[in-house]
Amino acid sequence: MTNPIRFQRVLLKVSGEALMGSQGFGIDVAVADRIAGDIAEARKLGVEVSVVIGGGNIFRGVAVASKGGDRVTGDHMGMLATVINALALRTSLTKLGVDTVVLSAIPMPEICESFSQRAALSHAGAGRVVIFAGGTGNPFFTTDSAAALRAAEMGAEALFKGTQVDGIYSEDPKKNPHAERYDQLTHDEVLQRGLAVMDVAAVALTRENRIPIVVFSIHQAGGFADILRGEGRATFVSD
Ligand SMILES: Nc1ncnc2c1ncn2[C@@H]1O[C@H](COP(=O)(O)OP(=O)(O)OP(=O)(O)O)[C@@H](O)[C@H]1O
Ligand SMILES: O=c1ccn([C@@H]2O[C@H](COP(=O)(O)O)[C@@H](O)[C@H]2O)c(=O)[nH]1
């Protein structure tokens, strides 16, 4: 596939669920190391990469709410899960010699730096990979929304969503293996057709800020850099 856009600065959303690999829960270090390698490879192409990481391998707030618990507490637990994942990914990147900083939306200064746009831009400008932890810092959101928000704040030219599937389909391909796969869509088409690969708030925020979305499989080793080179497999969302 031809990449219609050339990117110098991107925001990568890494699926939390992907981090558990073939385990049923938690972090498979080999997977974290491989994803870190993919980020390092992208940086070697001269692309500035910052990262938002999900928490689905550890905790999602809706799991608490669905059992009658308090949603806000559940979401706090989910946001903390993203901090755990961010620390794991930082460890993997550091092993590769990639200078990396974790900025959390929820201050926890003994563990990592707190998020501010100024700090994030300064670290990125100094050549570091910035990992945004703690989502948006607010309940009732997801890390997709955090990714859209941070992409806008960083002036990213695209939001890459590295997820469980290799693009956007007419329906969830895990539920319908005959669903049609798209190469190219507009933000409006994603919203109007209710394509649930990403939450509505995230798609709306990227549409408002004219940020393209690139959906690809995080399980494809080297896939991130391939797409940046104009190769690889992904669905592009742009207007
Ligand atoms: N129309 C669609 N096209 C593609 N995938 C879809 C679609 N509708 C639903 N999905 C599902 O959405 C999933 C991505 O959702 P989600 O963002 O919650 O997971 P994730 O990327 O693993 O992130 P995390 O684990 O961090 O929450 C895909 O794995 C896919 O099964
Ligand atoms: O801004 C945010 C981001 C996330 N959460 C909570 O964390 C979990 C994990 O994030 P995923 O995007 O599902 O991977 C999410 O389910 C929420 O419970 C949040 O509250 N606010």
Interface predicted TM-score of the whole assembly (ipTM), two decimals: 0.97
- Which of these, 180, 178, 154, 153, lies nearest to 168 by C-alpha position? 180
Is 135 inside a domain boundary? Answer: yes
Percent composition of the chain: helix, strand, coil (DSSP 3-state, to 5): 40, 20, 45
51 - beta bridge partners? 12, 131
Is 1 inside a domain boundary? Answer: no
Q: What is the mean pLDDT of residues 161-166?
A: 98
Q: What is the mean pLDDT of residues 198-212?
A: 98
Is 2 inside a domain boundary? Answer: no
What is the per-residue pLDDT for 30?
A: 98
Tracing tokens 């945004």 back to the chain, one arrives at 132
Is 191 inside a domain boundary? Answer: yes
**Domain CATH number, residue 156:** 3.40.1160.10
* Amino acid (one-letter) located at 34: R
User: pLDDT (tens digit, 9 = 90+) per residue, 64-116?
Assistant: 889 999 999 999 999 999 999 999 999 999 999 999 999 999 999 999 999 99
Which of 141, 149, 164 maximizes ligand 2 atoms within 8 Å of its Cβ, making it the mutation to test the pocket? 141
Confidence of residue 225 (pLDDT cuts 50, 70, 90): very high
Mean of the per-residue pLDDT values of the chain: 96
What's the gap between Cα 44 and its chain centre?
20
Report whether residue 171 contacts ligand 1, using a CB cutoff of 6 Å: yes
Is 4 inside a domain boundary? Answer: no
- Which of these, 148, 130, 164, 136, lies nearest to 56 by C-alpha position? 164
List phi, psi (to 5°) of 55: -135, 10
Is 106 inside a domain boundary? Answer: yes
- Measured CA to CA in angstroms, residue 127 lies from 13, 52, 118, 144, 180 at distances of 19, 17, 15, 24, 40
d(CA 65, CA 228): 39
0.90 surpassed by pTM: yes
What is the per-residue pLDDT for 4?
A: 44
Is 179 inside a domain boundary? Answer: yes
What is the per-residue pLDDT for 113?
A: 98
d(CA 161, CA 218): 8
Residues found in the chain = 239
Distance (Å) from CA 78 to ligand 2 centroid: 5
Question: Known binder of ligand: residue 143?
Answer: yes
What is the per-residue pLDDT for 65?
A: 86
Report whether residue 17 contacts ligand 1, using a CB cutoff of 6 Å: yes
Distance (Å) from CA 196 to ligand 1 centroid: 7
Evaluate whether 155 touches 124 at the Cβ level (below 8 Å). Answer: no
List, in order, residues 6 or more apart from 91 with CB less than 8 Å away. Answer: 32
Percentage of the residues of the chain whose pLDDT score is greater than 90: 95
Total number of domains in the chain: 1
For residue 199, the tally of other CB atoms under 10 A from its CB is: 15
Residue-wise burial string across 69-106, b where 16 or more C-beta atoms lie within 10 A, e elsewhere = eeeeebbbbbbbbbbbbbbbbbebbeeeebebbbbbbb
End-to-end Cα spacing for the chain: 18
Q: Can you count the helices (H) and strands (E) in the chain? A: 8, 11
User: pLDDT (tens digit, 9 = 90+) per residue, 13-52?
Assistant: 999 999 999 999 999 999 999 999 999 999 999 999 999 9
**Structural domain boundaries enclosing 110:** 9-237
What is the per-residue pLDDT for 6?
A: 79
